Amino acid sequence: MDYSDYPATAAEDIIRLRRRIASSQIPRKIYDHNLIIGSWNIRTFGNIYKEWTENPNSPKRNMRGMAYIFEIIKRFDVIAIQEVRSNTTAFRYLQNEFLGDDWGVILSDTTAGSNSERLAYIYDKRRIKPTGLAGEIVIPPNEDGNPQEQFDRTPYIGGFQAKEEHFSLLTAHIKYGDSASDRVPEIQSLSDYIVDELYERSKSSGEEKNLIVLGDFNIDTRGDNPLFNAFVSSGLYVPDALLNLKTTFNSDPKHYDQIAWFRDDLDLLYRGRAGVIDFAGSVYQDLSMNSMSFRVSDHFPLWVEFIIDRSVEKIGKKLGINADNLAGFSAISD
């Protein structure tokens, strides 16, 4: 999509949105240096009205909203998307008309549960390639061989490679339920599966190496509460930089979305940089926040940066020096 085709209202919004993206401190994508991973629940990402102007008789999301979604997604190397609907018109339009040939997608089938949703990964093919690992997470039978209750929206795992680094992403969208307590069993079930199945299997197969869990877990607050406790009960670590950041902007903002990993078993280099992109108020200033949310989203995207430049580590090993003592000597200034 050519920016010269954008109407003036969209161009003005893009300027404000880019300022907001910059204020989130998400790092630039630097070749052979870093890896930017994200997660974003894009509200009812299904159909699209393929015009820039509003049409009350068509889907709320039009090309203006798609332009803002594209502006955010292109800042990532790979991003997990939740709430893609069975109708993939908007998703495919984003892929073909905005992202183009430099980007790839991995898309799940519709889930059997709520809203016939799909889960997806969008990745920059110039920096990321899939390893071939992809699949839905299914709870195995119990000890008696009887089937167990499955997830309302089946989690989805994908394997990727950035330079020499291999990692797997597991994304989920936990059911909302009638109350917060309704979510605890499913969150606990996923946490148990991660540690009992994926973690143990990775020790023998290596396929789930550097597992990162991300998505919309409908956790109201991070900290000491049943929802968050169930999420981290398997040993998952949520980076400190995300702990106090809310991921919705309604009248009672929540911490629904998460990015986490097993800290002791992750050999990707994490330097403490993570955050959210708070776009609320920067786009669609002519509409209410609720109306804007149907055109962009009611969730903020989360991001985390990993370093894939191992040169300092290798130089330190060659010289017999701990890499921690070579801080500030990376090929690219942090």
Q: Where are the domains of the chain?
A: 3-326
pTM higher than the cut 0.95: no
Q: Compute and round to an integer the Cα radius of gyration of the chain.
A: 20
pLDDT of residue 58 exceeding 90: no
In this prediction, residue 125 has a pLDDT band, given cuts at 50, 70 and 90, of very high
pLDDT of residue 314: 78
Q: In what order do the strands lie in the sheet with 211-216?
A: 129-136, 156-162, 165-173, 211-216, 257-261
The answer to whether 87 and 46 have CB atoms below 8 angstroms apart is yes
pLDDT of residue 334: 47
- Class of domain 3-326 as given by CATH: alpha beta
- In whole angstroms, how far apart are CA 88 and each of 109, 257, 260? 11, 22, 28
pLDDT digits (tens, 9 = 90+) for 168-182: 999 999 999 888 899
In this prediction, residue 28 has a pLDDT band, given cuts at 50, 70 and 90, of very high
pLDDT of residue 255 exceeding 80: yes
pLDDT digits (tens, 9 = 90+) for 87-103: 999 999 999 999 999 99
Number of H helices, E strands in the chain: 9, 11
pLDDT of residue 115 exceeding 90: no
Q: In what order do the strands lie in the sheet with 269-276?
A: 103-107, 118-124, 78-84, 34-45, 302-307, 269-276
In this prediction, residue 320 has a pLDDT band, given cuts at 50, 70 and 90, of confident
Classify 144 as helix, strand or coil: coil
The lowest-confidence range among 6-15, 143-152, 209-218, 272-281 is 143-152
